[in-house]
Structure 1
Amino acid sequence: MSAKSGPVTVIRAFGVFASILDEAVKDRRLIANPARGVKLPRKGKAEHSYLTDDQVWHFAREAGPTKGAIVLVLAYCGLRWGELAALRVSDVDMLRRRIHVRRNAVNVGGKVVVGTPKTHELRTMTFPKFLSEPLAAACAGKARDALVFPNARGDYAKSPGARTWFSHAVARCIAATAEQRTTEVDSIGAAETPEFPRVTPHDLRHTAASLAVSAGANVKAVQKMLGHASAAMTLDTYADLFDTDAEAVADAHDSRVSEGDVVRMWSRAT
């Protein structure tokens, strides 16, 4: 399979096959599972696409008022798409600025199945004040058990793919940014505006992690927001975002200890 498929596909297929053989061992049809211990291809580290604050708001404007609210919630609260789709009015506490993540609506074989969040851990997050207005508009006039962001039929919304409002808004952002960069090159000789990446809905979850770290959130706060099972998982997924922490520690030492102090200390020691 490795000659034709990527590591993720091979690992998933192997996991299913190995589980079947585990059942055969339990039923005493096999003495041992020959699949266990097989060396699997290494899964490469995926590069994440992060949007800046300006890019998030540009995207939200291109998406329009209703869909723009979805963009903002995903980018600043870090919900998975299924968690956003399953969000009900009763899950949004406007007075305390809290979102309670209690359910996850996942598309399985074309059918939406509602269950608990991915790690089976319910969580609560505080949303920034600027989300109060778009969230209030999304909840206005709805019953407490109504979905906050339903599809056109009032049912659970499936994750937007190609040729949907999401991809169209991304395409408009990319085109507008490219035009802006061309204008900058013509006027000042260099493009200062960063390119707009071709993001997916899940990339907005990555963006939420990036913006939270930029705002000063530590790894435990990011873990809680994203609903990861452990801080180690958060660090493993977003190690690149915390690289600057090491620089911050070194800079903090420099601010406390001057170079002259170090020179004098070593002079006395020698």
Structure 2
Amino acid sequence: MGSIDAYESAKGRRYRVRWRDPEHQQREKRGFRTKREAELYNATVEVAMMKGTYFEASQSRITVGELAEEWLANKEQALKPSSFSPIRIAWRVYVEPRWAATPIGAIRPSAVEKWIRELSQGKAVTVRVRVGNGGKPRSAGVVLRAVGILAGILDVAVRDGRIAANPARGASNLPRKGTKKRRRYLTNEEVFRFARAVPDDKRSVLVLTLAYTGIRWGEAVALTVNDIDLDRCRLAIHQTATEVDGLIHVGPPKSWEARSVPFPSFLAPRLEALIDGKKGGDLVFPARAGGYLARPDTAWNRQSWWLSALRDAGLEHMTPHDLKHSAASLAVSAGANVKALQRMLGHKSAAMTLDTYADLFEDDLGSVADRLNERVLSESGGTSWSN
């Protein structure tokens, strides 16, 4: 409950309101010409504190850049290096040049929407684009990530009571991501044609492993001899070696959970040949000079063993991750159900697997109907229903 008292000023009698904020700090606002005005202001403060929407105006003078330091540090702690890197880059390139020096209380939704429009058109100020210059229009993914960073920082400001609402949420002109390119699933014949075009046995077996287990590149190159169970045809996936900004970071798999992945028995002798004579902790697919094998360059018009093998095999451009999709396709065609596929690919849920590979199960729906029809006709004596 605030208090109201009068005081004399050079302009005559004025009123002030005094109250304690949620942090029990003494606050006051002066200059009300009538007691009625002071009472109305005091009432709005009390209602805001009861609703949890109270914020102190002086707290909103902090800049986006000042809040970003802690926000980025928390993200870095919570995320893997490969996930944090694009956030750090987007902050430095797109968000920091425009908003770092801006007080959070001065940000208006209209200003955020203008920034979104300028990013999409390539007119926003970035580390590469100065005021008045034109740049390259940014994709929907880039714009959404940049806006998400600003919104995430301002979410913290709202929770701390520095601002009443987040001006970066609910923008009316957010771009939409385009339709994803249809995936290219390799057949068994194409997988082997690709593997045969690879210049050495080690990388040839690596291609087959990626295509028939669905593990990620980082998971594959982090495999050690101890991770391979030749008798049960299983791979123990418990770590990944991911390259971020030219450095290899070794950590837990993407799902943060270890898993056991089956591989077809034809791979067993090939893997056995690779690990013969090695110690338990040795890498299965090491680089030629030792250490973790670097991910091949797959950019257009570049040179790498991966791209050369694709050309020699007569296959279109693809990345190592595309072999994960092929593994899913080959597994489904072999009769794998959704739950088995989820565990094999390391997805968090079967729903995620269905959302990702819904197109692979479309044919299964027709097959289910056909099998159901055969079962009905078989058990009903082959007669159709009639009244």
* Bin for the TM-score computed over the shorter chain: 0.7 to 0.9
5 Å matches for 1:242-261?
Answer: 242-258=361-377, 261=383
Pick from 165, 172, 192 the counterpart of residue 312 of structure 2: 172
Question: What is the Cα deviation at residue 29 of structure 1?
Answer: 4.1
Q: Deviations over 1:27-78 (max 9, x none)?
A: 5543332222335333333421111000000111111312100100000000
Counterparts of 1:13 and 1:159 in 2: how far apart (Å)?
27
Pick from 155, 167, 173 the counterpart of residue 22 of structure 1: 155
Out of 206-215 and 86-95, give the one that drifted further: 86-95
TM-score when normalising by structure 1? 0.84
Q: Larger Rg: 1 or 2?
A: 2
Out of 50-59 and 24-33, give the one that drifted further: 24-33
Match of 1:240 in 2: 359
Match of 2:191 in 1: 56
Pair 1:45-2:180 in alignment: yes
Match of 1:131 in 2: 267
Q: Secondary structure at the match of 2:308?
A: helix
Q: Secondary structure at the match of 1:257?
A: helix
Change (3 A) 1:145 1:128: same
Question: What is the Cα deviation at residue 23 of structure 1?
Answer: 3.4
TM-score when normalising by structure 2? 0.60
Pair 1:7-2:140 in alignment: yes
Match of 2:332 in 1: 213
Counterparts of 1:54 and 1:166 in 2: how far apart (Å)?
18
Change (3 A) 1:222 1:31: same
Structure 1 residue identity aligned to 2:120: S
Structure 2 residue ranges without an equivalent (≥5): 1-118, 122-136
Structure 1 residue identity aligned to 2:310: V
Question: What is the Cα deviation at residue 87 of structure 1?
Answer: 1.2
Q: Secondary structure at the match of 2:383?
A: helix
Counting aligned pairs with the same residue, the percent is: 49
Match of 1:199 in 2: 318
Out of 146-155 and 214-223, give the one that drifted further: 146-155
Counterparts of 1:124 and 1:144 in 2: how far apart (Å)?
18
Pick 1 or 2: higher relative contact order, CA cutoff 8 A, min separation 6.
1
Q: Deviations over 1:118-170 (max 9, x none)?
A: 11121001211111122112222222112111222211222211321111100
